[in-house]
Amino acid sequence: MQSISLQNAVFEGENTIYLLGEGAEGPLTLLDSGFDDQKIRAQVEDGLASVGYSVADIDQILLTHYHGDHAGLAGWIQQKSDATVRMHPTDAHLAAHESGAIQELRDRQESSFADWGMPEAKREELRAEFEREIDLSTGTLTVEPISDGETVRAGPYELTACHLPGHTAGHVGYLSSDERLLWGGDVLLPHYTPNIGGADVRLDDALATYLDTLAELVSLDLAAVWPGHRERIDDPSERAREIYHHHRDRTRHVVNVLREFGPLDTWSVSHRLFGELHEIHILHGPGEAHVHLEHLETHDVVSATDGVYALRDSDPDLDEFFPHFSTNPEANQ
């Protein structure tokens, strides 16, 4: 397998895409594709050339989710290679830039911004950001859906698609059971916690969904995860637990903010957590605050009136809604 590092100044730092099957039998496969712009096209070409291939040689592209920094370049590669592109159907319409699907997402985002109490000037800043992202994706892409549990040959590997939602609704990882390896996109990242809430506003209680996904990752007992950004994660179960506990701590933090400052809307909670936000963080900050408030509301810790959240229980037992791992490390042995 060959890792190819790509620049990405927008989201979680540089992207990593993977070439599977060089010099081996089985379809020559790319795992994710990177943003579509001229510089990154050249970086993909150079990365492939370094192991003796060109874009036209690609047989198959397996995509983890619809975000432009993972799926954006798939259309261009498909045009040049006629590669088969596989991804989860829930994300496929967005990756293929079907205008109805994009419009539906934009409408949901706008209604979320209103619910969150986002100031109009910040909404404007975000819309400009979205336009920039659209420009970085190719419009023509034909996707063949892949569903949870389906297997696919990729170079020498027999991979199983694992639906791991939370960051997006249709996020999948590709698992090699024999080697206990997962190509994981943004499900688990080495340096940042993947954004939940802003990254895909289509999910209800995205935090609960993602906590289940983290528990699922631990149960897979993986040897390593190849993420969509940066370097290999060598202790993925440990990293998944760390991120799980990070969300638990953040929920506690949200309760403390409401206790200290009284009833607040999502934007104000986000401001207390993250301060002034710019660029894509205008989406990610309140999105994150939202999923924590929503999770607290589901468990009757807060109540919402016209988008303003008030505490009903100022000292909740977080074990009730972070059910997967005990906070006592002894109990996890």
Contacts to Zn ion by CB under 5 A: 11-12, 67, 69, 186
Q: Which is nearer to Zn ion, 69 or 216 (CB)?
A: 69
Q: Which is nearer to Zn ion, 69 or 91 (CB)?
A: 69
Tokens standing for 312? 């009903």
The least CB distance from residue 66 to Zn ion, in Å, is 8
CA 8 to CA 10: how far, in whole Å? Answer: 5
CA 195 to CA 285: how far, in whole Å? Answer: 9
The least CB distance from residue 190 to Zn ion, in Å, is 12
Q: Which is nearer to Zn ion, 12 or 265 (CB)?
A: 12
The least CB distance from residue 148 to Zn ion, in Å, is 19
The least CB distance from residue 79 to Zn ion, in Å, is 23
Q: Are strands 84-87 and 60-62 parallel, antiparallel or unpaired?
A: parallel
In 3D space, the residue among 299, 303, 294 whose CA is nearest the CA of residue 316 turns out to be 299
The least CB distance from residue 6 to Zn ion, in Å, is 11
Q: Are strands 308-311 and 264-265 parallel, antiparallel or unpaired?
A: antiparallel
Q: Which is nearer to Zn ion, 65 or 248 (CB)?
A: 65
Cα dihedral value 190, 192, 197, 198, nearest 10:
-120
Q: Is 265 left (phi over 0), alpha (psi -120 to 50) or beta?
A: beta
Q: Which is nearer to Zn ion, 167 or 292 (CB)?
A: 167
Q: Radius of gyration of the chain from Cα atoms?
A: 20
Helix (H) or strand (E) holding 160: strand 157-163
Q: Which is nearer to Zn ion, 167 or 295 (CB)?
A: 167
CA 288 to CA 226: how far, in whole Å? Answer: 24
Q: Which is nearer to Zn ion, 196 or 302 (CB)?
A: 196
The identity of residue 269, as a single letter, is V
The least CB distance from residue 228 to Zn ion, in Å, is 5
The least CB distance from residue 7 to Zn ion, in Å, is 13
By three-state DSSP, how is residue 19 classified?
Answer: strand
Cα dihedral value 92, 285, 256, 313, nearest 10:
-40
Cα dihedral value 180, 183, 241, 213, nearest 10:
-100
Q: Which is nearer to Zn ion, 63 or 269 (CB)?
A: 63
The DSSP letter of residue 9 is: S
The least CB distance from residue 332 to Zn ion, in Å, is 28
